[in-house]
Every structure is written in C-alpha cells, then in structure tokens.
Amino acid sequence: MDKASARDRIQKLRNELHRHNHLYYVEARPEISDFEFDLMMQELETLEKKFPELSDDNSPTRRVGSDISEGFEQHVHEIPMLSLGNTYSREELKDFETRVRKTVSTPVEYVCELKYDGVAISLTYEKGQLVRAITRGDGVVGDVVTANVRTIRSIPLQLSGDGYPERFEIRGEVLMPLEGFRKMNEQRSAAGEQLFANPRNATAGTLKMQNSALVARRPLDCYLYSAAIKDELFNSHFESLNACRRWGFKIPPYSRLVTSMEEVFEFIDHWAEKRSELPFEIDGVVVKVNALAQQKQLGFTAKTPRWAIAYKFKAQQVSTRLRGVVFQVGRTGAVTPVANLDPVQLAGSTVKRASLHNADQIAMLDLREHDQVFVEKGGDIIPKIVGVDKEKRDGASAPVTFISHCPECGTELIRYPGEAAHYCPNVYGCPPQIKERLNHFISRRAMNINAAEATIGQLYNEGLVRGPADLYTLKYEDIIGLERFAKKSSHNLINSIAASREVPFPRVLYALGIRYVGETVARKLATHFGSIDRIRQAGVDELTAVDEIGERIAGSVTTFFQDEANINTVEALKEAGLQLEIRNEEAETGTLLEGKSFVISGTFENFSRDALKEMVASNGGKNLSAVSSKTSYILAGENMGPEKLKKAEALGIPVISEDAFMEMLKG
C-alpha cells in the first residue's frame, strides 16, 4: 500500500473507530461486536506503525496512554474558570432570583443541573480535534493533563457532525463512578495498598498521575456541561448543550429547563431524595439563567458569575456518642483505629462503628473520650467521624491517644516515612496478622479452600495451623471432634485442601499475600517468569521490565523473597504439591480475550463459575461483577439473574452460552 492509499485508509478507520467508541461509551448502543472493533483497531495500529509520519495524537490507538512520565505544564484559561456562589438555603435561592429580576426585565428561564463531585476540566478543540485539557487550577491557570484525559473513553478525541466552531472550549467534570471506585478499592485492599477515601480524591489523584497508561486503567468518566464559546452561535445555554450532544460530547441527561423558582425547588427535592440511586456522587444542584443574552447582561462579580448559583445538599450527617476507640490489626500489620458509637440511623442503616483512619485524623479532630461526634457516610459508604460537638464535651474528659504498641502482641509500632498508618512489625508472631494472611490464602480468589474465618481462627488457636503450609499436613484425625467439626465437615475441609493443589500458579502467587501483589500483578509475574523460582531470583531491574510492575511492587517482591521465613513457606508448599510454575496448557494461552470483559451469571453444565472466570483471566480477559456499558459479553447459564439480563438487553450487550464461550477460546 502506498502512502496516499494508507492515508485514506487510516482516516477512514479513525473516523469509524471514533464513531463506534462514541456509540459504546456515550450512547450505550454499540452497532458492532468487540471482535469487529478490535480488528479495525489492529489494522489501524499496523498502518500507523508502517507509516509513522501519518501519526496523530488524537488517533483512537492513543487511548491506552503512554508510559512516558512528564511533569505537568501550566496554561492560562482563555476564559477564566470562575467558581460558583454556594448556598444551602432556599431563601438565598429566592434572593438570587430577586437579583436576577432586578437586572433582567424579560421573562427568565433556568437550567437545573446536578453538581457533580469530581474534578473540573476544560477541553479545547480546534477543527474538531481535542488539542488541550486543563484542570481548573486557580481559575486563571491550570495544569495541562491532555495525555491523561485522552485515555477517558467518554471524551471525544474528534467531534462528530458539523456546525461546531473552528476553536472553542467546553467545560465539565471528570468523575469516578461508584461501582468502579469500589472495585478499585477492593483491588488496592487485596494488594495491601492504601485505600482512597472517596471517588473525588481518587479522581483527583488519577488525573495527576505521571503515567497515562495507568490512568487508562482507572474507571474515569466525564460529563460536559458548559460550552465556553466566544462567538455566540446559540441563544441559550440549553440550546448549546443539545448542540454539544450532537457533536459527540457526553452531556448529562439529568438537566431540566424550568420557568420558575418553584420548579427549581421541585428539581432540588427530587434529587435530594434520589441522589443515592445515581451511579456517581453529587453534592448539590446548579441553577443557571438559560438565555445567553441575559447571562451577558447579568455579568460577573470578581469571583463568580451573577447568572448562576450552586445549591449544596447538606451532608447526610448524624450526631451520636463516642463509646470508645479500639485498634484493629490487619493482614499487612496496619493498625486502624475504629470508633464504637451509640447506635444511630444514617442513610438507611444503623451505624455502630466508624473508621478514624489513623493517628493524624484523631489529632485533627481533637477527639476526647465520650465526645458527642458527627458521623457521615463517605463515598465508599463507610461511616466516618467528621467532627466533634465541643459544646457538649465534658471538660474533664481525656484525649483519645493513638497506641504505641500492638494491641495483640505488644510489639512497638512503627510508622514508615511518607505513610499515615502505623504498623506492627511482628509479622510472624502477631496472631491477627497470621490469621488474616491465612484467611487471604484460603479465599475464593486465591486457593479457594472451603473454610470460614472462624475455622481458621479455631485451627490457629488449637495450634494446628501457624502458616499456609500447615494446612497441607492436616489429617482427618486432627480435626474430627473439634467444635463445629463433625464427620462431614471434617471430610469436606480435608478434600477442599487436597483439591487446592490444582489451583493454577498465578492464584497461588496471589495467595502468598505479597504486599502490593494483587490478582492482576500476580498473573503478570507468573506469566512472565513462569515459576516461583525465577521470580525469587529476579532483581528489581528484571521485575520492573514487566508490564505494570513499578519499583514499589518490585521492591516488595524482592523483600519478600529475602525473608527466610517466606522462603521456608514456599519450599514447604512445593513439598505439599502446589502449582508453583506455569503449566504447558496455561503457557499456551494469554491474550486471546485481551480487551474483553465478561459478566458470568447462572449455573453451567460443564464448568463452575470460578472455573469459567479463571479461563477468562488466563486468556487476558476481565471479569466484572455487574453489567455496565463497559461489559463486552454476558456469559449466561441456567437461572441467570433477570435484572442482569434486562440490563444487558437495554445496553445491547451480547449474551453468549457456555458452548459459544468455549468456541471463542478456540480462536
């Protein structure tokens, strides 16, 4: 193919891929299968490599991000990104209306919009192409985060249709849907990483990451809600939003055009009640004068527009009495303070406990014994103490202090530089750490041994199990007769332990509980090195050469294998017959399902759901727990949940059978 033909074909592929990407991620109505999409993407990648002079920063192939780390430059907003005036009062909304009507003599319409709890962003387009993305910053100057924003699939890299200005800005909010946030925190927890406090913090942290390839793997989304167009193409804000929707932007479907403050209050009341049903967090409602001529007439103060105001919801907060603070020790040795509270109703559930996170949080709250405290539910739905009612404080009450020694084993706690948590360093002698590592080892996604946490605690307390390898020396005679162990339960446990010897190597590696090594990292390490011995011998440079393995993970892996106790555990597991290297049939697979995600639901004739999930993962696919627009296929068995099927049909997601899935694995 000559250069001219390649240019034509490349442009045609880019246009088609942009269109299908918009249909999938914005409109949730795909027209083609993932397989067809992937074929076009592969052809485009091949042509771009063959003709690098035809490269384009806005090509669909750039969605995956780059591993090159660059500092963020700053850029001046051509039109300042002013903040909105905030109010929690309906009276102030009425005052806002009065001020508007004093200036504007013609009838006024308002646009009511949700106030998204994310990170404000400004996107600049030239000739329909995304050229720059800037954070709000101080409203005048913001950070350029274009490379990271290009990875957000709901943001168009090139616009659709026609009629858009030669050059313009559009503003909106980058946010993280709750489902993606929870799943990401679950993965971080499994890897021993610190959890994000809420979706907004996670979004802000992600946008400022220096590696856009990592940003591409975070579940970010973006709603656009304000076109900053100097040449007035439209008469109203609402009209401009409809035009932006036609051009391919993801414009929120929740906005409403109203003609009175009474209708504004109806909108506020509706979402104050229904906001918990949204798939993302909001913290209020924004009210804007609709007519652009009226906006111009109203103008701005030094800091805010006079034609818009934000009504903020009061946080879902209650007051209750602090009974005391206990300190819990986790699998990694991190010590977490937890407040015990007088039971109180909050957002539909009874709250008895709340996280205090760390010593810094306790000090910041100036928490005292038996304080009357204010409790909220954060973005991760975990109750947290956000303040103290000091007017109700007993003047003689003593401050709550963070402990200096482990509450379980008495070892002096340590705090690593740059970390907020305190840790018990007695890794192999602290009972809760040992029990939690054992519980992680037997968990369904690891060794899948059929035993409850209470069982592990009992086996530990009886002196029968002190580490993972001890499970494989257990005999029926050791456990029969123990509390809750009859003949059947004893046989079931022994048989389940025996069956776990066939668990594939990547899951065994994950089960070892190496800090920062979650399921995905364990699979990449296992696939790359092939055996536990090769991983053990690898240095930091060899480890960081593996995709997604940074210095922190590499350092954790090398530290793990420098510990004699860990080496002894691995050798004992070898002797017990566990899979500590990739088997031939596993090595032959890997990328067949790469880029595809599956929701598996129902019961199947030939395989368990866990076995099917393992097949998906071992072939490079992703397993999802819930149906969304990002789901590639529903693998459906008997008695599939009707709600999942209904949602799949609404989103146009292919539903395949067990047989069809097996055919897919044949390539």
Q: What is the pLDDT of residues 399-416, one digit of tens each?
A: 999 999 999 999 999 998
Beta pairing class for 334-346 and 349-355: antiparallel
pLDDT tens-digit map of 300-318: 886 789 999 999 887 677 8
DSSP state, residue 324: E
Q: Is residue 99 part of a domain?
A: yes
Which residue range forms the structural domain that includes residue 52?
Answer: 3-64
Distance CA 407, CA 398 (A): 20
Q: What is the helix (H) or strand (E) element at residue 257, kind and residue range?
A: strand 256-258
**Position 402 in a domain:** no
Among 203-212, 294-303, 465-474, name the most confident range: 465-474
Same domain, 52 and 91: no
Residue 24 binned pLDDT confidence (cut-offs 50, 70, 90): low
Residue 17 placed within a domain: yes
The whole-number pLDDT of residue 68 equals 39
Same domain, 19 and 110: no
Looking at the fold, whether 60 and 181 belong to one and the same domain comes out as no
DSSP 52: G
Higher pLDDT residue, 547 or 389? Answer: 389
Residues 88 and 30 in one domain: no
Residue with tokens 């050059």: 167
Dihedral sign computed on CA atoms, order 76, 79, 80, 82: negative
- Residues 130, 157: contact at Cβ < 8 Å? yes
- In this prediction, what percent of the chain has a pLDDT beyond 70? 92
pLDDT at 69: 38
151 pLDDT above the threshold of 80: yes
Q: Which of 283, 398, 428 is nearest to 438 (CA)?
A: 428
Q: Which residues of 498-529 are buried (b: 16+ CB within 10 A; e: fewer)?
A: eebeebbbbbbbbbbbbbbbbbbbbbbbbbbb
Separation of alpha carbons 202 and 174, rounded Å: 11
The reply to whether 488 belongs to the active site is: no
My answer on whether 252 and 118 are in the same domain is: yes
Q: What are phi and psi of 325, to 5 degrees?
A: -125, 130
**245 in a domain, yes or no?**
yes
Per-residue pLDDT tens digits for 642-655: 777 778 887 888 89
Tell me, yes or no, whether 137 and 273 share the same domain.
yes
Whole-angstrom distance, CA of residue 227 vs CA of residue 230: 9
| Final residue of a structural domain among 275, 295, 312 | 312
Question: Do 215 and 87 sit in the same domain of this protein?
Answer: yes
For residues 51 and 158, membership in a common domain is answered with no
Residue where a domain terminates, one of 270, 295, 312: 312
Q: How confident is the model at residue 208 (pLDDT cuts 50, 70, 90)?
A: confident
Domain end (from 294, 312, 330): 312
Cα 500 to Cα 40, 439, 520, 529, 580: the distances in Å are 41, 14, 20, 22, 12
Average pLDDT over every residue of 252-275: 93
252 CB neighbour count, 10 Å cutoff: 15
Residues in the chain: 667
Task: Indicate whether 120 and 45 sit together in one domain.
Answer: no
CATH of the domain at 40: 1.10.287.610
> What value does the mean pLDDT take over residues 614-638?
83
CB 147 within 8 A of CB 66: yes
Residue 122 lies in a domain: yes
Looking at the predicted structure, is the pLDDT value of residue 379 above 60? no
H-type helices in 123-208, by residue range? 146-149, 178-190, 199-207
* Number of domains making up the chain: 3
Residue 461 lies in a domain: no
Pairing relation of β-strands 422-423 and 86-87? unpaired
If asked whether residues 650 and 601 sit together in one domain, one would say yes
DSSP letter string, 348-366 = TEEEEEEE--SHHHHHHHT
Residues 540-568 have a mean pLDDT of 91
Name beta bridge partners: 368. Answer: 399
Report the CATH number that the domain containing residue 125 is assigned in CATH.
Answer: 3.30.470.30
279 within domain boundaries: yes
Amino acid letter, 532:
I
Amino acid in position 515: R
Maximum Cα–Cα distance for the chain, whole Å? Answer: 90
Secondary structure of 507-563 in the HEC alphabet? HHHHHCCCCCCCHHHHHHHHHHHCEHHHHHHCCHHHHHCCCCCCHHHHHHHHHHHHC
34 shares its domain with 80: no
Determine which one of 3, 49, 102, 115 is catalytic.
Answer: 115
Do both 151 and 296 map to the same domain? yes
169-191: pLDDT as tens digits: 999 999 999 889 988 888 877 77
603 lies in a domain? yes
pLDDT the model gives residue 35: 55
Angle 13-15-21 (CA atoms, 0-180°, nearest 5)?
Answer: 95
- CATH code of 640's domain: 3.40.50.10190
> Has residue 661 got a pLDDT over 70?
yes
Instruction: Note the pLDDT of residue 380.
Output: 43
